[in-house]
Structure 1
């Protein structure tokens, strides 16, 4: 079964809504940055989830062609 983010990205790709995908990517990148900045708890599980969602969104953007925005960085910065 597809995850919620996969279904959302798929719908945006079908209708060609690149702006919505960029918005999702920006939001997930901000979440990742926030999680990386927190201490006192093991945030690896939510961080892995956000990282996976970023990958799904980037794949959707790649389907629509054109460069993937990297304002906050993505895969390279979210490695840990």
Structure 2
């Protein structure tokens, strides 16, 4: 079963919404930084999940990059 972030990213990719994906990545990065700065709590599992989310988001952004590239005819 796909994780929620995969479904969200897939939806943004289908809508070609780069801005929403960038915003989502920025939000996750800020959250990871905040959690890493915390003391007195073990946030390793949460940080790992957030970093996995960022990987999924970046894969979605890469899909949009690939789709935006012009198709060049292959040379013979």
Bin the TM-score by the shorter chain.
Answer: 0.7 to 0.9
Which residue does 2:45 correspond to in 1?
45
Aligned to 1:34: 34
Deviations 1:7-34 (A, max 9, x none): 0000000110000000000100000000
TM-score when normalising by structure 2:
0.84
Please list every run of at least 4 consecutive aligned residues from structure 1 whose deviation after the TM superposition is greater than 4 angstroms.
none
2:6 equivalent in structure 1: 6
Which one has a larger percent helix, Structure 1 or Structure 2? 2
Q: Distance in 1 between matches of 2:42 and 2:24?
A: 24
| Paired residues, number | 66
Alignment RMSD, CA only? 1.0
- Which blocks of at least 5 consecutive residues in structure 1 are unaligned? 67-80
TM-score, normalising length: structure 1 = 0.80
5+ residue gaps, structure 2, are: 67-76
Aligned-residue offset at 1:41:
1.4
